[in-house]
Structure 1
Amino acid sequence: MVEKYLKQYVNAPAYADIWYCSLKNDVIDELADECISFLSAKDLNSIAMYRIPSLARRMIVTRGLTRKILSFYVDGIPSDRICLYTTSYGKPYLEPSLNVYFSLSHCSNVLVVAVSRKFEVGIDIENIYGQSHQNIVPFVLSENELEIYIGTDDNHKESVFLTFWTRKEAYVKCLGIGLTDNLNRIDTSDFLSKQIVFQGKYFECFSIDVPEMNCISHLVINANST
């Protein structure tokens, strides 16, 4: 059943795979029972703490699908036996000896998972809701980004804001540092047009157009990870 909904993004860069799956309620209802079999005992204990059934089922599917995807890259290890760790910043990772790097993100209606056998990756996705983010714009956007945002017509301001937001979040996920209070010091206005250099390391950013989803997503790859 999972294979019916789990899709691979065809335009991913050569050194990373991107998987996505709808998280619409009917899909979650259809996949939840199967996804339970992919979970570890630790996952099940954690999910048992949820008091709202719909949230528990959503977590079952997102964690289960992530484990199922990772099982494609760790030969011979069943989904429920894959050991997942987290850094002090909350970044999930696999045993380093496996040489498999991944990042995941989900919004209200879709899960995305990026996997690479060569490079550290960071991915983020956000829904376009038709909302204003005006109150946080000064705290998120750099001077260059703010100039672009101000010059954009009102109908497209949310898309521009979320473009910069997802680039920043994918970038800090790739770095493994988590969101920072100084997001407006990170300028992503030209991330797609050049190689990014940070502390002597090189990064690349890619726009991810998830089919049939009203979302904005970006992937950042650390080209120095190996």
Structure 2
Amino acid sequence: MVDSSEAPYRFEDRESYSVLALYPLINEGQWGNVSEVGGEIVGRLKTLRKPALVIDLSTLEYMGSAQVALLVRIWKSLKQINGRMVVQCPGEMVREVLALAGLKSLWNIVDTREAALQSLSITEYSEGRVIGGGGGGAGKMGLMTLVIALVAVAGAGGLLGMKLQNSTALDPKLQIALGFVFAVVGLLAGQAAAFFNRGIARIIAIVAILACLGIGVGLFQTL
């Protein structure tokens, strides 16, 4: 990790979001040109796969006009690429500077990293625990689509089993038709779950997709 006493900022690109942490050195006049730093950061923003950015100002005790202008430049650059931004700023003095600059009404400014991730609807999986997803639309959607995919896999698999065992509980044609319906629903829900989820949940979603494809092939072979 970069020592905050030796660098003006740190840019960390994570799986579903990025973090830009500004350090106290950025406020010191002997450290380079803030505009030049802005060019470096904007260049990084253009390479992001998912432009969701947490700007971490936790280590700052104050901000000057040049640093405020840097944040505005970053914000405008994100808007150009349809990105999202939230500012993590627990310091009262820095918050006051942002308020005086008229930015408090434009940006979502929060105290903690967890609140920042909730604002961006980011779901992180850490040690089997969901962090930052509480109340987030993406987290709820990921869970819902995963459950639907698993239920559909179970239904399609059960109907394929009935067909292979020549069960008479349902009409054979109905077994195949319902099996295909469940397989398609599972396939679509699995794709959505793989998009919205991360970590273990995404792996389960991918397995559900493969299972639906396999069941679909099995049903087709019984025709």
TM-score range, shorter chain: under 0.3
Greater strand content: 1
Q: TM-score w.r.t. structure 2 length? A: 0.24
Q: TM-score w.r.t. structure 1 length? A: 0.24
Larger Rg: 2
Higher relative contact order structure (alpha carbons within 8 Å, sequence separation ≥ 6): 1
